[in-house]
Amino acid sequence: MATSTRTKLVIVESPAKAKTIEKFLGRGYKVEASQGHVRDLPKSQIGVDPAKDFEMKYITIRGRGDILARIKKEAKNASVVYLATDPDREGEAISWHLANTLDIDTASKCRIEFHEITKKAVKEAIEHPRAIDMDRVDAQQARRALDRLVGYKISPLLWAKIKKGLSAGRVQSVATRLVVEREREIEAFIPEEYWDVTAKFQAMSQKGKPITCEAKLVTMDGKKAVISNEAEATKAKKRILKASFAVQSAKAGEKQKKPQPPFTTSSLQQEASRKLNFSTAKTMQVVQQLYEGIDLGKAGTVGLVTYIRTDSVRVSDEAVAAARNTIISQFGQEYCPDTPNQYKGRKNAQDAHEAIRPTYAEHSPDSVKAFLSKEQFQLYRLIYNRFIASQMKPAVFQTLSADLLGNDMVLRYYGEHMVFPGYRSVYIESADDEQELPEGVLPVIKEGDGIQFTQVSADQHFTQPPARYTEASLVRTLEEKGIGRPSTYAPTITTIISRGYVSREKKRLFPTELGCMVTDVMLEYFASVVDTDFTAQMEEKLDSVEEGQTEWRSILREFYPPFENMLGVAEKQIEKVEIKDEVSDVQCEKCGAMMVYKRGRFGRFLACPNFPACRNAKPIISYIDAPCPKCGSKLMEKTSKKNRKFFGCEKYPECDFVSWEKPISQKCPKCGSYMVEKPGKKGDKVHLCANESCCYKETVQMSEKETDE
């Protein structure tokens, strides 16, 4: 009888998730958090022994002893223990480590798994426990061993030959290489001049109103119009002005733009970067909060989104039905397709989890806004709207294409006009590079109509090099090339920036001198480690371990011997490289030497070159071209302890003005308050009034130099 009163113990990873789940389960259950891994390879040694068939040495992580002691105590007093760590390889491995530590039989039904933190999902998981999936555990062990061998074998070489503190990583080295090679493509690029010739003409709209249309020169004398200099452009312009034009052909049509699928981890990181200006790390931090649970007042604590590390676009039938009901109730039957929209995931996508979606369609962003921080609301609205839009009808556009012929020249007009918004009533996708055609009123023109051009323009352009990566486009490239998995994108980018291999300036990623040097060493001596195809194939092999098709140690047996040979060659042949510190124009006030730039945990700083004899160091002071709105002094660009940029008065602490957004010198023309600058869409900037009760804003087109930067 005493046993029946004992509690059941559920072990999760995060304390926030523990609080949420404990409220769902109520009396009779105790929920503890492991706070991630409790055991791992030791930091002081490799912990993987190739001589013993890659035996792994696991120890309790320093600082986790108290957590483990508390969990052991609760487990000892519990009638049953459920391991409820995250539903992925890493989570499975954490459950395995916990089972070993708590003397739980891994073949027993001790593991529960849920993909959303809702009362229904958690209770269903409790009713269907399973054994620990050793194939998933082994896939994680193989990845951990590979990453440890690469990191702990190559990093000491980089320390010895290039610079202390350097490290190499299996995926981070490939990501750095991509950024380095893109920069070299840009440097090697030779721009080519070309000219566009366009002409404007007047026409009548379908409602009988005059409108101005524009056509572009596409062919001359039966050949494609390729104009490479001003003389040719001027000649073509004069020829158009002298000629009489008529409509050779006019083709009206209709096209549809279909909605995108709900988010995967990768597409969420990309879209949050474009629309919200979030870094990949910020996106994962905020979406983790939405997943683990938000207190919605009377409704209780609820996980607002499903599991956040996924590359699947699959959605449950129940969720699709909820989305369709929401669409019909809010927009009408005409916005809901006859049959649910279905989406095909990318090749090699893991289908264990659904796409990232709201757990309850009735929790609209506005209905929960009061319980969310600004960033949580922005991201939840993005996820919610994308999911609802994914089950809506396409947007429908009328199109018109017309060829205008005169003097053996053809100018082409193309226009489109939206006649049914469909999913775009809820959500419009962003893109890194492409720009959509402007939508407007279409003219009424038909074959044989005469055309009189009112203005002809010739505009000079130059071909552009490939764009530098943003975090969003780098994530997309890593995914397209099959490098890494949803859980690795954000930490990979964070690592290459924190290591000083890559710098981020105005959303663009630039390789540093150090990043270029390390990449060159890796390419010369560890070519396969930084080879994109090799890395992608390794991911496929890890997937095959998870699927039970490959024994995990066989991957290491195949990888290690040639890798060991590469190490031997590198140790003998790499010559020591001396990296000279960049000298600043700031003099050390203690010893008189010119200070040098160093990179630390929170970015670059100034240090005395005579260290350790002189230990003087100071932050880099950067002023912006705007006065302090509070006292009129200079404003400085600063960095917080969490490496986030902010702006503050140079007179601090006498003046306590601070702003996360960059103030500008312009005053608000509406209320007189100071204004701030934020990145806008499609390469522009937005100037906003800092006074929240004033809604004034203006869009400013960025210059070519600013856009490139």
**Domain regions of the chain by residue span:** 3-132, 147-188+469-573, 193-258+395-462, 265-390, 665-709
**The two three-digit tokens of residue 534, written as one number:** 């090799």
CATH match for 193-258+395-462 among 3.10.450.30, 2.70.20.10, 3.40.50.1820, 1.10.287.1040: 2.70.20.10
Mean pLDDT of the chain: 90
As a whole number of angstroms, the distance between CA 320 and CA 326 comes to 10
For domain 265-390, the question of CATH label 1.10.290.10 is answered with yes
Under DSSP, is residue 331 helix (H, G, I), strand (E, B) or coil? helix
291, 307, 335, 469: the catalytic one is: 307
Q: Strand 502-505 and strand 294-295: pairing?
A: unpaired
Q: What pLDDT is stored for residue 32 in this prediction?
A: 95
Q: What pLDDT is stored for residue 542 in this prediction?
A: 94
As a whole number of angstroms, the distance between CA 4 and CA 424 comes to 56
* Residue of 272, 266, 264, 265 lying closest to 429 (CA atoms): 272
Beta-carbon-side half-sphere exposure of residue 210 (alpha carbons within 13 Å)? 3
Q: What pLDDT is stored for residue 707 in this prediction?
A: 40
Q: What pLDDT is stored for residue 350 in this prediction?
A: 57
Q: Active site includes 307?
A: yes
CB 153 within 8 A of CB 504: no
As a whole number of angstroms, the distance between CA 208 and CA 47 comes to 79
Q: What pLDDT is stored for residue 351 in this prediction?
A: 56
Q: pTM for this structure?
A: 0.80
As a whole number of angstroms, the distance between CA 138 and CA 134 comes to 6
Q: What pLDDT is stored for residue 166 in this prediction?
A: 79
CATH match for 3-132 among 3.40.50.140, 3.40.1790.10, 2.40.50.100, 3.40.50.1370: 3.40.50.140
Low-confidence ranges of the chain (pLDDT < 70): 1-5, 347-352, 431-439, 578, 599-603, 640-644, 680-684, 701-709
CATH class of the domain at 147-188+469-573: mainly alpha
φ, ψ of residue 275 in degrees (nearest 5): -85, -35
CB 417 within 8 A of CB 252: no
Please calculate the CA angle 77-80-83 and round it to the nearest 5 degrees. 110
